[in-house]
Structure 1
């Protein structure tokens, strides 16, 4: 928990607010409105675009409000769980400090692979920077932690930097501190057009050496081909699975294995390629070796592969399964309609005389010459073991409105089906699928578009370049429904720890000089899980976008509000966001354009409602659930009260008191709010506020029993 009097040190902040590397501010259309111009924009094309963007934010808020309820934060033992919005991020994935205890927990079962570990340690000692280049899920992250611990000792923690950090600017900024260990997990490369140069890397190495600090970067194998980094790369590989299995068994309580089971385990473990899978097998032995063997046999994967390979499915079986991969769980009546539409796109492709393939595309299993005639019963019988039918209402609907919905047997089956579709079928399937997905992205049905986004995030694990080039890049500048779908794809990509840095990179690539539409998509994407993981980078970019043309600024303000709304149940992130806004507001010159933007943004935060299914103001919820927010909110209120937005600030304060009027336990937070406000005002300003608040509370909307009494607590005239 941060101290209420603190402000953020933004001198080492990544992103566009740093002195170097700031994207040139470009007005996309009209300038940001001057203070006092609250009557609303003049009707016109841009006004219509903002209304469309506003509807998009309403959709985005509905989806995020459904996901945010199940969030939990902080270190947990979830080695066997999937990383996602409802679970904790892998250590070091989110930029910030990783404590010694968390490093120790991460390295509990670590076995240094040789000779790459010793090679990396030697290079780290000589150059103070090393890049572990290897396959995903090969233990690169744990290897980075182990190298830094070897360099600085077992009692040291480390600081994780953003994967979108510019290496060239790290040495030139004050980001590198003395005697520190730094890690960049899943580095995605430079944001700028000019690639990082070898001399910039040498300068970073010299800066690290001068400050007796170390930096380890994990990256894909292709990084070894980058000229500037090749001299610092070490080819990384996973340890031998059988050696790791025995190593891990020595670190858990001994388990007696029945005759023959140990040999079966060894045979199955030898085929594993991910260290995390080996660790899961060992830690699961306590629950019974037979259960571990069953999991290692991977019956779900075998079932999916058999369905595709034993007898090549006809299009009447294949296309509904492909459709379900992107539309799981929508009402069956809607699913059948969209599944038939996919068949129409495939037929149109088959009837095309010239079949032009992509340059690097390979035709795999053909689809021509098959029948699409199929009944729902017949198809579901053939898909037994993969799909099932259940009845449930839609989001926010009454249970009496439950409908039949087709779902996969498990979330993993859905991911496996998409993997098989990618591996077995080429352009003849995916070209019509892309056309079909583009049509779905334009629909008004939010449930459909949400499932499309979820399926595309799973597909991005196998074909990120195709998803980006053929779909996201186009949708990011499309109609509002497409831009919301694009933002949701990036949110769902964050459920895969290795895709999260790529999602950030994609979002930021649309922010500068790519047009207002794509900048709005960036603002939408920097909310939810993406904004939670990369909170400082997201806030920096949103603050930058809030100073752009009015359409982009409108979106940036909505995103800042949405970031705080989704942080309501995460006290640390809520306080971090409030501190950030307070630091930025305090750091802008009065009567400047930047100052006007800061005050307008702050006023919007103070007026914000909670996410749509929870009544009341956001400020009231924070005061109730995060008492430490009172000082931050108080000082933010002062800044707006002493501006041309005073009337809005008084109205927001009254509305907050109305919401809290019957909540006795919150009186202490309200008193702290008043004390913070009083500390930031002169006696004359304080007396004026007392009069304004007293007069405002006479309005019928606020003159509710209990509100005036709570106002007396706020103003300090009631002490009990």
Structure 2
């Protein structure tokens, strides 16, 4: 998907802001404000569309109200993910991270990759031959090469190693957005001299082959002229793109035994002779270099521990269960659990019965039964809705599932309920993989119907687990997931659109699916109707917005200029992005700086400035995602660099028709800071940032507005006026 609003993003996301008019915005703003006679515009509430807004779509109020309910659901789920990590079963957390602030693999998120990060990624790297040498020869000549191969085959490490060999061992690199257009990248003239670039899991491009081929030739010439290099990793399908064919090199993983011995030499961890044969047999069957490296490093914990991990008891347990060819009575509840893990048992049983009903209706239509592919008779089961009992789980799914008692969100232990969960998170993924590999249309057609029905229910916990299950299915069948679920649900009712957005968020937990999730979300942003545009705005929050922050902000800013329904959704997404970024100081500051820069780049009394100010005032009015209190107060307390940008935003909004709301947000922030011992210092920093962009007359009007507003009972609280005096004192000085 090519971003028509962001263009090529060659630098990391922080440097990308420098392409906007950010160098010294205070000067332009101050000049603009000096020309104004002060705060003389009428006090008004801009909750409705701006009177000069162009192209406003006349949406029914109830549509925006339904969108608001969807954002409430999204906020609940994202807030739970950030603040709480609820584990339904025993946790295998090796290599795992939780929350939207979790560290991404090097290069996955656009931005700089430091030499130390590259060193760590290449610690056990073994070049696969001859593809590595072929790729380097092409990179050396063309300065651009595309590594095409299967996911998890070591393409990322290979790209780092190629750039290291071309540029030197002390060189870092820049990762670019996977949705970048190569043709636009060539035309942007932003290729820096002596720089190494990488695009991981490339998905972007909409140009026809002829245009794309011309753009790639230009890109190759630009890279060659500047002594820079670009390595792209992509799927096998990329080789079928005629324009890229001459730059592609087939990539494969190194031989697992060679890689295992290579790691053992580096680790000085010899294989015990009595376990060598079995250990090496298991290693030989591994296909992912990461698994081979994990096996080698696991020897440090003892050969028995490494062998136990290689035996993969969870995988063997799942395979044996399916090898017995379970009956439909056993299969369907397990299939249902794969998409409804951890919901209350009574809820699970209700929906599991409905799945059986869909299957029975499918069979009565004349198709083959689900669990008897040879057409064997099933008269004993026909007419029976559900024969599975609660005790049957212990008999038929030993080692796969278990029950536990747990209270729901916000409930105490006295209201705990029985819930059915898998013994480990990995089993859930394995079960979905076996369902996809072993069963065809006769199971998946009624299963898709059933999942479609679940996407309509009001129960957010049910829809969240459906989204989580579909994201696991996407690891095995991305095209099917996109065609059968995401595309139709994105244009559906609110509950379906929220489920779609959550699915894309959960897909980002698998690194090679994160670019695909971004691409799908961007595909709905423009010219696909208001429903899909709202879904796109919802999806660009959370993990996607954390990974691809500049891409997400650019598109959300573009959507704020659409019709009021879509613009309202985009502003809600901007608020949610800032709320989820509260625990990521760098991302919060980046976003505040982005909005501040956008405002500085608009002309006075323009429609663009109106859109920008409406977005800014909603950020200033935002509450924390979890817990009471205004978000700006929390940012001032926990993100030291936020004062400068919040002060600029407040000044811009105060000098507009939105100032009543801005004053109210400022008062609420002062109230929240009144009991903080560092409150006076925080407010003083905020005032100093505001002083740079206000003249004496504007300051005098603000003083009067604040004095009037603080008489309101909500703000007339001891300590608030003292902070207001600190703020005004900062402005006076």
Q: What's the TM-score once normalised by structure 2's chain length?
A: 0.89
Q: Map 1:486-505; keep pairs closer than 5 Å.
A: 486-505=500-519
Per-residue deviation, residues 422-461 of structure 1 (Å, max 9, x unmatched): 0000000000010000100011100000000000000011
**Do 1:178 and 1:213's aligned partners in 2 also have CA atoms closer than 8 Å?**
yes
Aligned partner of 2:705 in structure 1 is 692
Deviations 1:581-631 (A, max 9, x none): 1111111111111110000000000001111x3100000000011121001
| Aligned counterpart for 2:685 among listed residues 640, 663, 672 | 672
Contact 1:182 1:216 in 2 (8 A): yes
Alignment correspondent of 1:247? 262
| Mapped contact 2:20–2:597 kept (Cα < 8 A) | no
Please report the RMSD computed on the Cα atoms of aligned residues, expressed in angstroms: 2.5
Partner of 1:314: 327
Deviation of 1:226 (Å) = 1.2
Work out the CA distance in 2 between the residues paired with 1:225 and 1:12: 40
Q: Is 2:691 the counterpart of 1:683?
A: no
What residue in structure 1 maps to residue 28 of structure 2? none
Distance 1:508 1:193 in 2: 19
Which one of 406, 412, 437 corresponds to residue 398 of structure 1?
412
Aligned: 1:616 with 2:629: yes
Once the two structures are superposed, residues 356-388 of structure 1 have per-residue CA deviations (whole angstroms, 9 ceiling, x without a partner) of 99xxxxx96879727252222123420110000
Distance in 2 (alpha carbons) for counterparts of 1:88 and 1:195 = 39
- The alpha carbon displacement at 1:696 in A equals 1.2
* Shift in CA distance, 43/213, structure 1 to aligned 2, threshold 3 Å: closer
Could you tell me how far apart the structure 1 residues matched to 2:731 and 2:241 are? 67
Match in the other structure for 2:586? 572
Q: Which runs of at least 4 in structure 1 moved beyond 6 Å after TM superposition?
A: 41-44, 354-357, 363-368
Deviation, structure 1 residue 189:
3.3
Question: Any residues of structure 2 matched to 1:79-118 within 5 Å, and which?
Answer: 80-82=94-96, 85=99, 87-118=102-133
Paired residues of 1:393 and 1:402 also in contact (CA < 8 A): yes
Measure the CA separation in 2 of the matches of 1:648 and 1:433.
Answer: 49
How far off its partner does 1:192 sit? 5.7
C-alpha separation between the residues in 2 aligned to 1:43 and 1:543? 17
Distance 1:682 1:44, change over 3 A: closer
- Show CA shifts across 1:550-593 (max 9, x none): 00000000000000000001000000110111111111111111
Alignment-derived partner of residue 596 in structure 2: 582
Cα distance in structure 2, aligned partners of 1:6 and 1:620: 27
Partners of 1:167 and 1:196 within 8 A in 2: no
**Residue 275 (structure 2) pairs with residue 261 (structure 1):** yes
* Deviation of the 1:289 alpha carbon: 1.1
Call closer, same or farther: CA 1:710–1:319 in 2, change over 3 Å. same
2:544 is the counterpart of 1:530: yes
Other structure's SS at 1:389 match: strand
**What is the match of residue 451 of structure 1?**
465
- Counterpart among 456, 466, 472 of residue 442 in structure 1: 456
Q: Who is 1:298 aligned against? A: 312
Q: Please report how far the alpha carbon of residue 396 of structure 1 lies from its aligned counterpart in structure 2 after TM superposition.
A: 1.7
1:635 matched residue in structure 2? 648
Cα distance, 1:11–1:704 mapped onto 2, change above 3 Å: closer
In the TM superposition, what whole-angstrom CA distance separates every residue of 1:152-211 from its partner, at most 9, and x where no partner exists? 111110000011000110010133111111100001131467786222211111111111
Q: Tell me if the contact between 2:367 and 2:442 (Cα under 8 Å) persists in the aligned partners.
A: no
Once the 2 structures are TM-superposed, how far is the Cα of residue 262 of structure 1 from its aligned partner? 2.5
Counterpart in the other structure of 2:5: none
Counterpart of 2:403 in 1: which secondary structure?
strand
- The Cα shift of 1:8 comes to 2.5
Structure 2 CA distance for partners of 1:95 and 1:368, relative to 1, 3 Å: farther
CA distance 1:245–1:451, change in 2 (3 Å)? same
The answer for unaligned runs of 5 or more in structure 1 is 14-33, 72-77, 358-362
TM-score (normalizing by structure 1): 0.91
Spell out, residue by residue over 1:398-444, the C-alpha distance to the aligned partner (whole angstroms, 9 max, x if none).
22111000000011000000000000000000000100001000111
Q: Equivalent residues in 2 for 1:467-486 (5 A)?
A: 467-486=481-500
2:678 match: secondary structure: helix
The alignment status of 1:544 with 2:552, answered yes or no, reads: no
2:201 to 164, 186, 198: 186
Residues 1:217 and 2:232 aligned together: yes
Residue 443 (structure 2) aligns with = 429
- Cα distance in 2 for residues equivalent to 1:148 and 1:661: 53
Contact residue 83 and residue 496 of structure 1 kept, 8 A? no
- What is the aligned partner in structure 1 of residue 46 from structure 2? 38
Between 488-497 and 186-195, report the one with greater CA deviation: 186-195
Is 1:233 the counterpart of 2:248 in the alignment? yes
CA distance in 1, matches of 2:16, 2:127: 41
C-alpha displacement at 1:140, in angstroms?
0.1
Report if aligned partners of 1:84, 1:494 keep a CA contact under 8 Å in 2: no
The answer (yes or no) to whether the contact 1:83–1:495 under 8 Å persists in 2 is no
Aligned length: 681
Moved more, 259-268 or 191-200: 191-200
| Structure 1: distance between partners of 2:113 and 2:283 | 31
1:126 offset after TM fit, Å?
Answer: 0.3
Q: Which of 168, 174, 178 in structure 2 is aligned with 1:153?
A: 168
Counterpart among 18, 36, 53 of residue 9 in structure 1: 18
Structure 2 unaligned blocks of 5 or more: 1-13, 23-41, 50-55, 86-91
Q: Residues 163 and 185 of structure 1 are in contact (CA less than 8 Å); yes or no, is this contact kept in structure 2?
A: yes
Q: SS of 2:661's equivalent?
A: helix
Verify: 1:281 aligned to 2:290, yes or no. no
Distance (whole Å) between structure 2 residues aligned to residue 381 and residue 263 of structure 1: 35
1:360 alignment counterpart? none
Shift of 1:699: 1.3
